[in-house]
Amino acid sequence: MTDRPLTVLFLPESAYGPTGNCIGIGDVLLQRGHRVVFAAEASWKGKLEPLGFVEDLVDLAPAPEGDDDSDPGAFWKEFIRETSPEFRKPTSQQLQTFVAPTYQALIDGVKYCEPHLREIVSRQRPDVIVEDNVVIFPALTTSDAPFVRIVSCNPLEVKGEAVAPTFSGLPAEDGTEWKSFRAEYERTHRDMWTDFNDFVVACGADPLPYLDFMPVSRHANLYVFPEEADYTDRRPLDDTWHRLDSSVRSTDEPFELPAELADRPEDSSLVYLSLGSLGSADVDLMKRLVDVLGSTRHRFIVSKGPQHSEYDLAQNMWGAEFLPQTSLMPLVDLVITHGGNNTTTEALHFGKPMVLLPLFWDQYDNAQRMHELGFGRRLLTYEFTPDELTGAVDGLLADRQLRSQMDAMGAAIRGRRGKERAADVIEDVARQHRARS
């Protein structure tokens, strides 16, 4: 009885990073014969079913009249586009002007979809529920099924006194600003947390930890970050936590280098530029990057993002709105990234050094971690000089010792089979619960 196929229900945050992470893990579960359901946000309609998943989607807000919901993650793309001026502010100021409003938007979505999500859980009757998000949906933790939490942001999301505050981008070895940052976080988030905690409790779920919007699961918690960059020496985790050193999906289509990139001078390296589907919505920043990098001898693959039609690439570049990142990344020598956790951990998975240009959320934490460990260079996203950017690119490409180190680290990370480990944990939780039922 305990070996019959499982029904696994995933609810990822609507953005590409968490959804892509769940797709990778879900695909492993599919290959093992299980039924995998996505209760993703409605803009993913028609995008998950072709991959073999069941779509039972939710709206996070009323759809505007005449709205086209065919664009996956459209909700967050529009939100980012409207709030992008906030990215120029220091992280301590972003707490009030960006982080808190983002949490509030997520909370509003939780409250709106709670009745519908309960219907989905009742209809699908999952053996285990998996959520990859930064806010809890009470419908998921009050069902009969065990609940698994995934942290696909930087693991500083799991707070600790001996590590830098979440979202701060502050250095690990200098805690002089930690206390003031934490105080500002409490000031800007306390009332919102109180309101959300009241809602969660009213829905029948357990109270939330103070100032946390997502509880720790008593069943299992997964997080995506390689051992070589982890914080567990300063913030140990209990045995409910399982590190996935990487979680790289294998559902991306194959990628073949265009002729203009394959035929390049011997002294030219191949660089991948991606600020993510959200960061690339800042067209002015993308134009500046194209202008500066277009003057170098290197060749670039550019993920142009949702505003792809609003700017042109330089002669030494090729790109498209969407690219199969996990298929092309093995081909490049260097990655220029916003520091999103998916791209950061994928670059480490494939052993690629990084130039990091953080914009918001945990991107600052990833950029700082890669910089202080020597796996990349963190630059000021809006204040970098052309020489700083091209110097970082050339310096990392010329560092043969670093590239050899990254190659070896990537091989070790790939050998730990993060997706398969995640699937193992999810199966174990579901089967143990089924055996006790």
First and final CA of the chain: distance in angstroms?
11
Q: Percentage of the chain with pLDDT > 70?
A: 95
Q: What integer pLDDT is reported at residue 3 of this predicted model?
A: 74
Residue of 123 and 69 predicted with greater confidence = 123
pLDDT above 50 for 203: yes
Q: Counting beta carbons within 10 angstroms of the beta carbon of residue 221, is it exposed (0 to 12), middle (13 to 18) or buried (19 or more)?
A: buried
Spell 55-87 as b/e; 16+ CB within 10 A means b: bbbbebeeeeeeeebeebbbbbbebbeebbebb
Please give the pLDDT value at position 62.
85
Averaged pLDDT, 158-182? 96
The CA dihedral of 329, 250, 341, 139, to the nearest 10 degrees, is: 160
Asked if CATH classification 3.40.50.2000 holds for the domain at 7-245+417-436, the reply, yes or no, is yes
Query: What local confidence, expressed as pLDDT, does residue 1 receive?
Result: 38
The mean pLDDT of 358-381, rounded to a whole number, is 96
For the segment 374-391, the average pLDDT, to the nearest whole number, is 96
**The pair of three-digit structure tokens given for residue 120, joined into one six-digit string:** 């989905």
The backbone region for 238, taken as left when phi is positive above 0, alpha when psi lies in -120 to 50, beta otherwise, is beta
Position with higher pLDDT, 284 vs 122: 122
| Report for 16-30, 55-69, 150-164, 238-252: range of highest mean pLDDT | 150-164
Q: What mean pLDDT comes out for the span 276-288? A: 83
Domain ranges of the chain: 7-245+417-436, 259-415
Q: How many helices (H) and strands (E) does the chain have?
A: 15, 13
pLDDT score at 8: 97
The reported pLDDT for the residue numbered 311 is 86
pLDDT tens-digit readout, 108-125? 999 999 999 999 999 999
Average pLDDT, the chain: 91
Which of 16 and 315 is assigned the larger pLDDT?
315
- What tens digit of pLDDT does each residue of 404-414 get? 999 999 999 99
More reliable by pLDDT, 218 or 259: 218
pLDDT for 290: 95
Top-confidence residue, 64 or 436: 436
Instruction: Give the highest mean pLDDT range of 22-36, 74-88, 255-269, 295-309.
Output: 22-36
129 CB-side CA count, 13 A: 27
pLDDT of residue 81: 65
Does the structure show a pLDDT above 70 at 64?
Answer: no
User: What number is the average pLDDT over the span 362-382?
Assistant: 97
Residue 141 scores a pLDDT above 60: yes
- Phi/psi at 104 (5° precision): -65, -40
Check residues 263 and 392 and name the one with the higher pLDDT. Answer: 392
Which whole number is the average pLDDT over 95-120?
95
C-alpha distances out from residue 377 to 355, 373, 389, 406, Å: 5, 10, 9, 14
Q: Does the fold of domain 259-415 match that of domain 7-245+417-436?
A: yes
Does the pLDDT of residue 15 top 90, yes or no?
Answer: no
CATH number (3.30.70.60, 3.40.50.2000, 1.10.10.10, 3.40.50.300) of 259-415 reads: 3.40.50.2000
Average pLDDT over residues 336-355: 95
